[in-house]
A = this chain, B = another copy of it.
């Protein structure tokens, strides 16, 4: 029986603990300063405020399994005592806070499993994963912590609902990864292991830009037809181009090619995820980026942040002569959309290739 502490009890940080709870482990969900309402309701009712299932009657919050308790941020250090594992459950927007406020508190003996998807552009045309950023942060403090991470495809509400799911855990040490897997795996939650940290993390991060890109086609068809009829030829063409560009990007970050399939599976599920699809659909309908962001006020748009970083990285590489814009026409168009340089005008002809 393991004691697991989670910092950041949003949808995914909480959902990932369900299989561990079913396996008999004890979990303390500690909220950040943004999670106070979640903690309050969780303590009062055991029902998660934002991790919900959609039913014909509307959204219904999941009741957390036996063994999971909710705690306010003030109790974090207390909750670290006796913990065997720390799960980092913050969103991309909380990464800086996690580095500044949390990493200093983590004992070297305590391994970390992060669910945050994303990567950083280092400014010179290279990308690194969040676990690598965490390692660098810890190193500056003279600490060596085992940072591990989870890669999709996995939507939080379906994980909580025991839908068959295949994810990847990545980290430096095989033995640690096998132990982590043993905490979570069960009949429906299946875990692949990899020591290619950058590969796994970048593969799942890169899908953000492309899920937005594919959703443009949804918007285009809505603009053309109204909401009853969807067109999949255009979505499929974008999916094909996305897969091709993602492979090119993974080659740039320098990682195991097998990660492409992870990214593709994650791309597939993200297209249906909701938030990224919403922004892509609005942009596809011809709405400007500012108007789209206004309409979606209050919606966490990690996909936008990660898309921007991906675009910046490739633009830097183009500037340095390391990459060509024609290798990433869809990404370049997404970049133009989210920097408000243009409204939707998918460069279909640029996806054509010859011999």
Contacts and interface: CB of A to CB of B under 8 A. Distances in A.
Interface string A237-263: 101110110010000000000101110
Interface in A298-355: 346, 348-349, 351-355
A55 B227 CA distance: 11
A335 to B, nearest CB: 20
Contact of A265 (B236, B260, B348): B236
A146 B291 CA distance: 53
Contacts of A228: 55-56
Interface residues of A, number: 60
Nearest to A191: B352
Given A193-B353, A236-B265, A161 B231 contact: yes
Contacts of A3: none
Contacts of A62: none
Contacts of A54: 229
A158 B231 contact: yes
A228 B55 CA distance: 8
A195 interface: yes
A229 B355 contact: no
A97 interface: no
B269 A166 contact: no
B164 A269 contact: no
A352 to B, nearest CB: 5
A346 B164 contact: yes
28 contacts: A53-B229, A55-B229, A56-B228, A152-B236, A153-B233, A153-B236, A154-B233, A154-B236, A155-B233, A158-B232, A158-B234, A163-B234, A164-B220, A164-B233, A165-B237, A166-B348, A190-B351, A192-B351, A192-B353, A193-B354, A194-B355, A195-B355, A232-B269, A237-B265, A240-B261, A240-B264, A243-B261, A258-B353
A254 to B, nearest CB: 18
A222 interface: no
Interface in A254-289: 258, 260-262, 264-266, 268-269, 272
Given A192-B352, A355-B194, A155 B232 contact: yes
A159 interface: yes
A183 to B, nearest CB: 15
A235 B21 CA distance: 25
Contacts of A158: 231-234
A232 B268 CA distance: 8
B265 A231 contact: no
Contacts of A153: 232-233, 236-237, 239-240
B190 A348 contact: yes
B352 A234 contact: no
A174 interface: yes
